[in-house]
Amino acid sequence: MMIMQNNLGRQYSLHAGEYKKKACEVLDSGWYILGNEVSAFEEEWADYIGSKYCVGLASGLDALWISFRLLGVGTGAEVIVCANAYIACVMGISINGATPVFVEPDEYDNIDADKIEAAINDKTKAILAVHLYGQACDMTKIMNLARKYDLKVVEDCAQSHGNHWQGKTVGNFGDIGCFSFYPSKGCGAFGDAGCIVTDDEKLAEKFRIFRNYGSEKRYHNMIVGSNSRLDEMQAGLLRVKLNHLDEFNEERCRIAERYYECIENPLIQFPKVRPGADSTWHQFVIHVPGHRNQLMEYLKDQGIGTLIHYPIPPHLSEAYAYLGYKRGDFPIAEQYADEVLSLPMYNGMTDQEQQMLIDTINNFKVEGITNA
Ligand SMILES: *Cc1c(COP(=O)(O)O)cnc(C)c1O
């Protein structure tokens, strides 16, 4: 038996008939860009998240960079982001010329809100709160700082579709909530897709204009915009997915619970969920200090796939060499990059697959260290 880290075909097969029916409906409609499916999805997604407005876009990265563009956060501005973020978060900031300022993660793998204040100065214009791995940041502390220093807050909810901070759905705390519907995300499309949510009507209108070459009316271009439209096919398929999103999240929670209960290996540290947050388990990320690569190789030899989210922290990536950081500048993020491992976790994962993963991990030993 082989187990993949993620298996999108499994989730698809749970409701394949519904997707095929919707795809045929969109094909037969003769209307493929900005039509009824997009408007309906925008309404349904805003409703699901609990925001007033949603604007469909072409990707999660577009949601991020267009947000900063429309908030006027560009050249000369600094934006605070966690040092263990996905590279797209950082590119969303720097595409407009703003400078990412990194803050170390805490024991919950998200930005350490207690370290943000020390990174704020006159140039700081915004905080990008990345809800990594399916778990909310401490939005109470982040919003308090934003009010104190008059900062914009953009939430990156790409990995957190429908989870909460103190009972409120993420995406609703800051000025803008950004979502990616990349196929592996909670509510994944069958291609690239994304959106923003906001309660600000004027800002929502700006996104609608910007995503369509800066025009509201065909050939009347008011500003220099982009082409970042969510298409009808993805919107239609996302509507089907959204109907099942709660089921998907619940299923992953059950798998996570089983891992907590049944995996017993002293070499492994389980993910911690912050009091006040819940997790939708976009990833089940364990820490394996000192033995991560060994465990990864061992699992691979047994036919079990894993991934590292992420092996190179953004400040050490080639793309950001111009910022002038070196190894040692963000030791916690660097340590995490060396010890995190994302275990298989997907909808449609069988009991047998879960058990094989559990047994295999429980049998992992390193010479000189015995299992308790
Ligand atoms: C996936 C992801 C993105 C980028 O989304 P795309 O749709 O791939 O452009 C941004 N931020 C985070 C945290 C992500 O996981």
pLDDT tens per residue, range 246-305 = 999 999 999 999 999 999 999 999 999 999 999 999 999 999 999 999 999 999 999 999
Mean per-residue pLDDT of the chain: 97
Q: Are 81 and 128 in contact (CB under 8 A)?
A: yes
Three-state SS string over 267-287 comes to CCECCCCCCCECECCCCEEEE
Check residue 195 and report its DSSP letter. E
Closest ligand 1 atom to Cα of 282: 15
Helix H or strand E segment including 82: strand 78-82
259: closest CA among 359, 342, 358, 347? 358
Residue 345 falls in which region: left (phi positive, over 0), alpha (psi -120 to 50) or beta: beta
Distance 202 CA to ligand 1 centre (A): 25
Residue 104 class from Cβ within 10 Å (0-12 exposed, 13-18 middle, 19+ buried)?
buried
Q: Assess whether the previous peptide bond of 310 is cis (omega < 30° from 0).
A: yes
Q: Residue 69: is its pLDDT beyond 50? A: yes
* Res 157 pLDDT > 90: yes
pLDDT at 371: 52
For 70-96, b/e burial (b = at least 16 CB within 10 A) is bbebeeebbbbbbbbbbebbbbbbbbb
Q: Which two tokens stand for residue 166?
A: 């103190």
- Torsions phi, psi for 285 (to 5 deg): -105, 110
Q: What percent of the chain has pLDDT over 90?
A: 97
Atom number of ligand 1 nearest to Cα 194: 7
Confidence of residue 1 (pLDDT cuts 50, 70, 90): confident
**What is the helix, strand, coil percentage profile of the chain, to 5?**
40, 20, 40
Confidence bin at 44 (pLDDT 50/70/90): very high
Over the stretch 205-255, which tens digit does the pLDDT of each residue have? Answer: 999 999 999 998 888 999 999 999 999 999 999 999 999 999 999 999 999
What is the residue whose two structure tokens read 């030791």?
331
**Cα–Cα dist 333/135, whole Å:** 17
Would you say residue 356 has pLDDT above 50?
A: yes
pTM value is: 0.97
Confidence of residue 370 (pLDDT cuts 50, 70, 90): low
- At which residue do the structure tokens 């092996």 appear? 311
**97 CA from centroid of ligand 1 (Å):** 19
Share of the chain above pLDDT 70, in %: 99
| Atom number, ligand 1, closest to the C-alpha of residue 130 | 13
CA dist 96 and 323 (Å) reads: 15
Residue 367 scores a pLDDT above 90? no
Residues with beta carbon inside 6 Å of ligand 1? 59-61, 86, 88-89, 130, 156, 158-159, 180, 182, 192, 194
Distances (CA, A) of 185 to 65, 92, 179, 225, 355: 19, 18, 9, 27, 24
Looking at residue 187, what is its pLDDT? 97
**Which is the closest atom of ligand 1 to the Cα of 131?**
13
DSSP H or E segment with residue 93 = helix 87-94
Over residues 33-46, mean pLDDT: 98
How far apart (Å, rounded) are the C-alpha atoms in residues 179 and 193? 9
CA angle at residue 82 from 265 to 42, to 5 degrees? 100
Amino acid found at 337: A
Span from the CA of 181 to the centroid of ligand 1 (angstroms): 8
Cβ pair 280, 249 in contact under 8 A: yes
Task: Render pLDDT for 304-317 as a digit per residue (tens, 0 to 9).
Answer: 999 999 999 999 99
pLDDT at 368 over 80: no
